[in-house]
Amino acid sequence: MLVAGTAMSLIAPIAAQASDSMNHDGMNSYSSSERNSQRIDSKTFFNQVNEELATLEGSVDGLQAQQYDFEAGSFSDTTTLDGKAVMWVGAIDNADEINAAGNAQSVQTGYTYTMNLNTSFNGDDNLYVRLKGGENGNQWGDKETYHIETKDTTSAFNVDKIWYSWKVTDDVTAFVGPKIENYYMYITPSIYQPGVLKSMKLGGNSNFGASTDVGFGFKYENESGFGFASNIVSKDADGPDGMLGKQDQNKWDTQIAYTTDNWHVSATLSDAQNWTAHDYNATTRGAALGGDGGVASTDTTGYALRAYWRPDNSGTSTPEVSVGYDTKNRR
């Protein structure tokens, strides 16, 4: 069909000229120019078509390659994602006596859905984002009986944690983020694994934990086992009182540690300004530091000691041991 179309386009001008009066000078000029020009035949046409098709095919291949590159990077080949869904039904024995809110001992349900995203831009850094949402009965979210998976957002899916960490040197890691807790910036002080209660999370750190808010810090760990960490978290960094102001609720923790393959010891100093919720995982005496049920703003100084020992081969009859001691005083 391409050949026929081309032939018709060549015949049409000739037929039009045949219908006009004969012009010998024009014919002689045409014959002379034709002898001096390249002859147009079917071979010339097919060569030209093949060249154009080859050029077009190359352009298509290039577009497909660009499309594949876009699809590969549209999410990110440096981002990993994992998630989990938890659903439960149950009751807490004597919940009406344990919980300050007086929740009745009743069968309640709950669920959470969590997504964790970790992105590295150069191999020595990490942007961590946790998305989480859920809904549950009140007794699962009270401080005294806080289930480790609990997150009541009335089924809204929110950014629950977000921070960025990077290697300053081989031994120093820095942290900064709008939603981070200080114990994520610690040198891990325990081998105790999280249980069903949040008070056991992250090796018993939560007694000195802070609310998820704006924070920054660093930790230093060398090959010999020595470590040092310091961090601060502010509750009012995005509020009217401002970050680190006189009315800001903030917590500054500093930790020194020594860790080997089999054992660890560490001490942490915690300085809190206008801090609330002193009753979280605390004794009655500790909760009284805050007054008004342990939730009034108070300046406190606290100390935390941690240690653990484990045998060379875990899972034997020799137990792993992890211990801790905390104390806090009002300033």
Q: Give 315's pLDDT tier (boundaries 50, 70, 90).
A: confident
Domain residue spans of the chain: 2-70, 78-167, 170-331
Dihedral angle, C-alpha 325, 279, 144, 236, nearest 10 °: -110
Strand partners, 165: 126, 175
Question: What does 279-319 look like in DSSP terms, one character per residue?
Answer: TTT--HHHHTTS-GGGTS-EEEEEEEEEEEE--SSTTSSSP
Model confidence over 182-238: pLDDT tens digits? 888 999 888 876 666 666 665 556 556 677 899 999 999 999 999 999 999 998 888
- Distances 15 to 1, 19, 27, 155 between C-alpha atoms, Å: 21, 7, 14, 80
- Distances 187 to 94, 105, 179, 212 between C-alpha atoms, Å: 36, 39, 19, 18
Predicted confidence (pLDDT) at residue 17 exceeds the cutoff of 50: no
Q: Are strands 125-136 and 213-221 parallel, antiparallel or unpaired?
A: unpaired
Model confidence over 270-281: pLDDT tens digits? 998 988 766 666
Length of the chain: 331
Token pair 């401080």 is found at 143
d(CA 233, CA 208) in angstroms, rounded, equals: 12
Mean pLDDT (the chain, rounded): 77
Predicted confidence (pLDDT) at residue 153 exceeds the cutoff of 60: yes
CB-CB contact of 187 with 218 (8 Å): no
Please state the rounded mean pLDDT for residues 73-91.
81
CB-CB contact of 126 with 165 (8 Å): yes
3-state secondary structure of 86: strand
d(CA 227, CA 243) in angstroms, rounded, equals: 28
Indicate the DSSP class of residue 21: P
Token pair 């499309």 is found at 67
